[in-house]
């Protein structure tokens, strides 16, 4: 994912790709936050299922196998395509340094 993030094209040179649906629907600023709240709610439901399920370790094993496979395939797909940033409301800033210690401090400070 870090390699893919570093290869994102410049937004000024490569604007977001046209989209029939998004071009005709106004930008809803609270939609991204609602998506995050929905994901958090689904996580809480999943944790409740794990807490009360008899075979929770089998469920965890399947969850990690599926999540790992999907994440790996997503990384490969994103590395191959290298699409532009999907919208002007997203900021994709480059990394500041290649030093591992500085990079770790950047991650921990965010």
Q: Give the pLDDT of the chain (110 residues) as one tens digit per residue.
A: 667 767 777 777 877 778 888 789 888 889 889 999 999 999 999 999 999 999 999 999 999 999 999 999 988 888 888 776 666 555 656 566 566 666 666 667 76
Structural domain range at position 15? 2-109
> pTM of this prediction?
0.61
Number of domains in the chain: 1
The Cα–Cα gap between 103 and 97 comes to 7
Contact assessment for residue 89 and residue 15, using Cβ atoms and an 8 Å cutoff: no
Helix (H) or strand (E) holding 73: helix 56-81
The Cα–Cα gap between 98 and 104 comes to 10
- The number of C-alpha atoms within 13 Å of 76 and in the hemisphere containing its C-beta is 6
């Amino acid at each position: 994912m870090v390699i893919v993030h570093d290869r994102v094209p410049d937004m000024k040179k490569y604007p977001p790709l046209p989209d029939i649906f998004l071009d005709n629907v106004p930008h809803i600023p609270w939609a991204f936050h609602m998506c995050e709240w929905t994901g958090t709610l689904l996580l809480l439901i999943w944790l409740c299922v794990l807490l009360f399920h008899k075979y929770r370790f089998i469920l965890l094993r399947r969850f990690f196998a599926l999540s790992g496979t999907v994440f790996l395939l997503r990384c490969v797909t994103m590395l191959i395509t290298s699409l532009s940033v999907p919208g002007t409301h997203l900021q994709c800033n480059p990394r500041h340094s290649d030093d591992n210690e500085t990079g770790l401090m950047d991650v921990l400070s965010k």
